[in-house]
Structure 1
Amino acid sequence: MADREMADTQRGAQPGQLSVMITATDGIRVITAAGEIDHDTIEPLRQALQAPSLPRPRIVIDMHQVTFMDSSGINTLIAAHQAVTAAGGWLRLAGPAGSVMRTLQIVGVDALIDSRPTLREALTN
């Protein structure tokens, strides 16, 4: 069961927008993103990725509803991965598909950050 930690969402992200919702499942922060991740929309995701003050933070970003991601998203994911790893935790991506997955592969982020096909798989150790 998911315990709702906080929700900051814009229902049904409009083109050119990003909605972000944060929940927790079994002590894992789950960030669900929907829409486009770019320079103009990145801030809600950046804020959601602030490493929790818990030791060994565990974060999953559910990306199955992300339709576009530019270098702003790539840089934010890499910075979050480095911060969480330095704190002894981990960051995983769930469900990136289509052009978003292709972008992750082209720049090698898929080799740096663990990416799983589904949210259920990302939540499983």
Structure 2
Amino acid sequence: MEQDVLVLPDEGDGVRVIVCSGEFDQGTLEPLRQACAPAVADPAVRRIVLDVSRIAFAGCSMLNTMLYLLRSGRLVLAGPLPRSLARVLELTQADRLFTVAAGVEEARTL
């Protein structure tokens, strides 16, 4: 399956939205890491919204990347969570660590 990472244009509200679609495992995470690094490094970004609603598969490497983003203190996941990602979060009990919004617009305002 094709994989895509898209950083949406900033709207001047301090929110960086990164949209993920496709399969994310150890071999396909580099584009996501490259998209996230500038957001984590930029103090003007007060919230990082990771739109995970179009993820078809998420392995433990994806979880590690999400935990890295979570350590910034600014991560909100925009769902709904796909079954594979929800399962990884549930199995690792990481589901209680993440703030999950129903969609991107809700995530912007949390």
TM-score tier, shorter chain, comes to: 0.7 to 0.9
More strand by share: 1
Q: Structure 2, unaligned stretches of length 5 or more?
A: none
Q: Report the identity percentage.
A: 34
| Matched residue, 1:64 | 53
Distance 1:81 1:53 in 2: 15
How many aligned positions are there? 105
Deviation of the 1:56 alpha carbon: 5.8
2:85 paired residue among 100, 108, 114:
100
Greater Cα radius of gyration, structure 1 or 2? 1
More helix by share: 2
| Matched residue, 2:67 | 78
Quick check: 2:7–2:17 contact (8 Å CA) kept in 1?
yes
Greater RCO, 1 or 2 (C-alpha within 8 Å, sep 6+): 2
Q: How does 1:5-20 map to 2 (within 5 A)?
A: 15=1, 17-20=2-5
